[in-house]
Structure 1
Amino acid sequence: MEISLAQAKANAVSLAVRQSALERALADAQSQREQLNRDLGASRSEFAQKARLVEELESRLQDADQRVNEEQATVEGLREKLRSAEQEAKVETSVDNSEVKTLLGARDLHIVDVYDVESSGKTRRTYGRVYYVENKLLVFYAFDLQDRKRNRAAAGFQAWGYSHANSKQPENLGLFYVDDATTNRWALKVSDPGILQRIDTVFATLEPPGGSRSPRGQKLLYANLAGPPNHP
């Protein structure tokens, strides 16, 4: 009986020791969990701060992109004005004073871009321009007509005009002449009111050096004059 009691006491002491160890382990685990929770909270706070920083940087980037686009649009507008001013200056150097006054002082002045006609019949914008004062004066500029790559070296470049209502009978506007050899600029002027009243479209063809009575060669350039005046 005494042995059983002693054994029970020993078992109780052993259980108490193990319980104490378990309690310490539990306390350590709880402490670690609390530390992990604190670390997690700090990480979440840091992540939120970084997320706000990213949003702020993205907003700044969008603002910067918008400003760049606006500045590019402004620059392009200035370049277009410069090109127009340069073209007008070229007009002034190639026509006489009375024609300059007619062109630049007219309320019904059309400034029309010229399109290059490819062999397939499609058109693409090229560096050419028509200045047209309704029923008074037409000045047709074109560049790089004499293009050896397109077999245009030794030929006449002739302009024609027609009305959409009568496109089968084009008017002969004459042959282009070299207006500025350094820039390979060609020009043609028409000041006959009778002819100008009968046309609303102009085009150029590749003809023999002396020209033709009617267009027979390849169509090179095209411009539509039918729109409203666009240069007050």
Structure 2
Amino acid sequence: MAAAAAAEHADDRVADRFSLDAAEERLMQELDRMPAPEKKRSPGKLVWGLAAGVVVAGALGALWGMHLPVRRANPASSMEAHNTPPAPMPAPRAASVQKTAQPEPLIEEAEAKKSDELSKQLKASKTRYAQLSVTAKETQQQLAELQAQEQQISNERDALQQELAQAQAQIQTLKTASATMTSAVQNQNLRLADLQTTVDVLNSSLNEKNRLLALDKQFLAHDRQIRNLIAARNLYIADIYDVKDNGETAKPFGRIFYTKNTSLVFYGYDLDKHVRRNKLVSFQAWGSGNDQPEVSLGLFSKDGKQKCWILHFNNTKTLARLNKVFVTVEPQGGSNKPTGKQILMAYLRIQPNHP
């Protein structure tokens, strides 16, 4: 019985070995029928390696599952080997082959499913890899464009910095020139102000000299007239004094040189004593006749050298109808008729006293 059990156990080991060899052979055939992965793509190699590992692991698991019941059944058969007679060798071999042959369709189906899943995964991986490749190319292209733009911007920035530096240098040059010109203009303005002051002084001096020259000419003319007047045989000369209320002689006084119906020269002295200081007035001479309105004989002009006022009148028609002359203080420029106070007066209807 022991010999029979040992023989049966040996047959089981042979059957197990046969089943493992058959499964390994089928696995290798399935792997040979699968398409070879592309060598250039490392992700394909990894996928195919994983697929092969999964298939091998599945096959070994299936074989181990089939072999485990047989191994568990062996102790019982070994116990029976001591009590039962040895059986013929062919019968147990046929039963063992039948037991190992039963799960082959399941293995093929599992392998087919695994192969389909792996194919799908591989296809998805290829698609994803293609998409990633396209995305990578687009990204590289965009990166190259961005780098080109960055380089262009950098070049433009350098050019702008150079232009800015040139502009700043020009601005500094213009500022320096402007400061120089401003200083020169200020100096010219000061010089111009000095020259204008000098011109004003010279104009004032010239005007004064012209005025004095005109007065000199006027006085020369008056002098000639006075010489002619003094040489006349019918000359009347009189000093005129202003008298106060108490009978005393006042400061203002005058002197008249009069040729009947021909010429009148009137000198006035200290006329400004009746005028407030810094008040601008004019001293105006008037003439009147019988039942005749007053006639203006003109304004006195001041003789700075003699410190007096002088008036010359030679209108013969007017002098022929006058019988007196007098002086009034009027606003500057004179008036059309007497408005101020009379300060000097003389009668003309008198006999000549020279010669």
Q: TM-score, normalised by structure 2?
A: 0.35
Q: Distance in 1 between matches of 2:261 and 2:246?
A: 29
Say if 1:115 and 1:123, in contact at 8 Å, map to a contact too: no
Q: Structure 1 pair 143/94, CA: closer, same or farther in 2 (3 Å)?
A: farther
Say if 1:162 and 1:199, in contact at 8 Å, map to a contact too: yes
Q: Compute the displacement of 1:113 (Å).
A: 1.5
Say if 2:263 and 2:314, in contact at 8 Å, map to a contact too: yes
Q: Compute the displacement of 1:101 (Å).
A: 3.9
1:194 aligns with 2:317: yes
Q: Which residues of structure 1 form unaligned runs of 5+?
A: 1-92
Look up the match of 1:178: 302
Q: Compute the displacement of 1:106 (Å).
A: 0.9
Determine helix, strand or coil for the equivalent of 1:194.
helix
| CA displacement 1:129-188 (0-9 Å, x = unmatched) | 0000111110000111122x642742110000112x22x611110100002x24421000
Q: Compute the displacement of 1:100 (Å).
A: 3.1
Structure with a larger share of its residues in strand: 1
| CA displacement 1:177-229 (0-9 Å, x = unmatched) | 002x2442100000110111111211000001110111011111111121100
Q: In the TM superposition, what are the counterparts of 1:62-211 in structure 2 within 5 Å?
A: 95-96=221-222, 98-116=224-242, 118=244, 124=249, 126-147=252-273, 150-151=275-276, 153-163=279-289, 165-166=290-291, 169-179=293-303, 181-211=304-334
Q: Structure 1 pair 205/117, CA: closer, same or farther in 2 (3 Å)?
A: farther
Q: Compute the displacement of 1:124 (Å).
A: 3.5
Figure out how many residues of one structure are paired with residues of the other and give that number. Answer: 135
Structure with a larger share of its residues in helix: 2
Q: Distance in 2 between matches of 1:155 and 1:217?
A: 10
Q: Distance in 1 between matches of 2:284 and 2:246?
A: 18
Determine helix, strand or coil for the equivalent of 1:169.
coil
Say if 1:102 and 1:133, in contact at 8 Å, map to a contact too: no
Determine helix, strand or coil for the equivalent of 1:188.
strand
Q: Distance in 1 between matches of 2:248 and 2:284?
A: 18
Q: Distance in 2 between matches of 1:121 and 1:192?
A: 37
Q: Distance in 1 between matches of 2:264 and 2:307?
A: 20
Q: Structure 1 pair 209/129, CA: closer, same or farther in 2 (3 Å)?
A: same
Q: Distance in 2 between matches of 1:116 and 1:103?
A: 25
Say if 1:141 and 1:185, in contact at 8 Å, map to a contact too: yes
Say if 1:161 and 1:172, in contact at 8 Å, map to a contact too: yes
Supply the AA of the counterpart residue of 1:156: S
Q: TM-score, normalised by structure 1?
A: 0.52
Q: Give % identity.
A: 38
Q: Distance in 2 between matches of 1:123 and 1:214?
A: 29
Supply the AA of the counterpart residue of 1:131: F
Q: Distance in 1 between matches of 2:327 and 2:225?
A: 22
Determine helix, strand or coil for the equivalent of 2:293.
strand
From 194, 201, 213, give the equivalent of 2:336.
213
Pairwise CA RMSD: 2.5
Determine helix, strand or coil for the equivalent of 1:161.
strand
Q: Distance in 1 between matches of 2:222 and 2:329?
A: 28
1:226 aligns with 2:349: yes
Q: Compute the displacement of 1:107 (Å).
A: 1.2
